[in-house]
Chains A and B, each alone.
Chain A
């Protein structure tokens, strides 16, 4: 195995065309690995959510399929795959087919810029954060198109609500991340993590507490999660924008939503909680830690991501849904002014060289 790899590298150093081919092959391999692992995590995120919320409501959650219900996501997947795929007679068919794909693709594309541990990222681009924001708003197209193409009033209302909600919270979210950009001096996600490690506290969540709060609230709204799940409010709109979807198209929406949550948690971890790193003072206190190979730091990253996901579920189990005008009021009257204030304070401190 090693000899084959060595011979490939030797070939690459001699022949520039072969080098390009090998690079492309490596990228495809990386994409396959990240996609596979991320989808597995998404599947088990649903299991974990049901388990956490179940226990918070003094229930057991899934427990019958496999040991403590561990095979439940697989059973769900198989069930959804073999369900009948119903398309409404009056639906706009091309758009109806397209909508879940847009939603899922925009969610999965965001994975390409996330650094999971030192040196591992599919596309190490300099506008990583901007790319993530762009992709998360592109997902709104999937929702709006599905609402329109379904030709159902519930789906349509859900789509409309989602459109206005995502547009409103996109602003607050983008502005809340500006503070991080100012502090790190970069839009590259790996650079942001490294800048955090070198900062005295090790995480941006403490100096950027205001930005972190705004980001968390906006992230809940962006991913249509409780307490801001108005686009899919069960008691009002049946299921919201995916009311008319069934079978695997529904599963695509479902997976897209959970992938979105995973990505929002990852952004929070990368931008505010220090990514795969531990704060400098912890590293100084335990010098052994610096000997751990790069790969194993993904565990730190995953623990942080799952802690944030747990917060998602925790809030879902606690808070009721907001009214629509309250949602808009929080977005426009509270979060955006606060985010602007945060930018002004951070920028002032940066100019005075205090941070």
Chain B
């Protein structure tokens, strides 16, 4: 053993170095964020609680096509439709089991009308399972809660806006705008 090593072991140089490090870190400011009081700003594009979009007239945008339910990897979206007047499709029930949802956002991407959205809201813990079963009414009221006002509008425009904007053509036919321009 070299003399340097002997000195190192004799005077616990390594341990003293460690002690110096912990003492130094004692005087650095703590990184703790005191959560319920100080909240972390939500990143743009955050995928939180679901909401069903309404149009300008306050009517539900969803037409009950069922694409979101077909796309959903965890199969937690249930849609029940019936025939209304003049054979229009009426969405009777639109339900999401929030506890099973994995918040992948595929339903948003699948929707041709921008009818389903994911809000920034993430604090919705509760005491019973029923409270996490999102019915149509709850989802529509979520839209009123989290997507009203300027911020909500921007957020919606930027991230969960209707993908139907990118579709055009005469009524009843979906064509990509790009393709149409090429024609």
* A residues in contact (CB < 8 Å) with B: 52, 54-60, 63, 314-315, 317-319
A318 CB contacts on chain B under 8 angstroms: 15, 18-19, 21-22
- Check A59–B22 contact: CB distance below 8 A: no
Return 25 A-B CB contacts under 8 Å, by A number: A52-B26, A54-B30, A55-B26, A55-B27, A56-B25, A56-B26, A57-B25, A58-B28, A58-B30, A58-B31, A58-B32, A59-B30, A59-B31, A59-B32, A60-B30, A60-B32, A63-B34, A314-B19, A314-B22, A318-B15, A318-B18, A318-B19, A318-B21, A319-B15, A319-B18
Closest residue of chain B to A315 (Cβ to Cβ) is: B19
* Chain B positions near chain A (C-beta within 8 angstroms): 15, 18-19, 21-23, 25-32, 34
Q: Name the residue of chain A whose CB is nearest to the CB of B36.
A: A64
CA A319 to CA B26, docked complex, whole Å? 15
Which chain A residues border B21 with CB–CB below 8 Å? 318
Minimum Cβ distance to chain A for residue B123 (Å): 18
Cβ–Cβ contact B30 & A56, under 8 A? no
Question: Please, which residue of chain A has its CB at the minimum distance from the CB of B24?
Answer: A56
Classify the interface of chain A: helix, strand, loop or mixed: helix
Instruction: Report the bound CA distance from A55 to B34 in whole Å.
Output: 15
In the assembled complex, which residues on chain A have CB atoms less than 8 Å from the CB atom of B25? 55-58
Q: How far is the CA of A230 from the CA of B166 in the complex (A)?
A: 66
Inter-chain contacts of B31 with A (CB < 8 A): 58-59
Quick one: closest A residue to B37, CB to CB?
A64
- Bound state CA distance, A266 and B23, in angstroms? 23
Are the C-beta atoms of B34 and A56 separated by less than 8 Å?
A: no
Q: Which residues of A contact B30 (CB under 8 A)?
A: 54-55, 58-60
Report the bound CA distance from A60 to B29 in whole Å.
9
Q: B28 contacts which chain A residues (CB < 8 A)?
A: 58
B108 to chain A minimum Cβ distance, whole angstroms, is 37
Sorted nearest first, the 3 A-B pairs with minimum C-beta distance are A60-B32, A318-B22, A318-B18
Residue of A nearest to B32 (CB): A60
State the Cβ distance, A58 to closest chain B Cβ, in Å.
5
Min CB gap B141→A, angstroms: 33
- Min CB distance B139 to A, Å, is 35
Q: Closest B-chain residue to A54, C-beta based?
A: B30
Contact A317 B22 (CB under 8 A): yes
Q: CA A57 – CA B27 in complex, angstroms? A: 10
Q: How many angstroms from the CA of A7 to the CA of B34 in the assembled complex?
A: 59
A-chain residues with CB within 8 Å of residue B22 when the two chains form the complex:
56, 314, 317-318
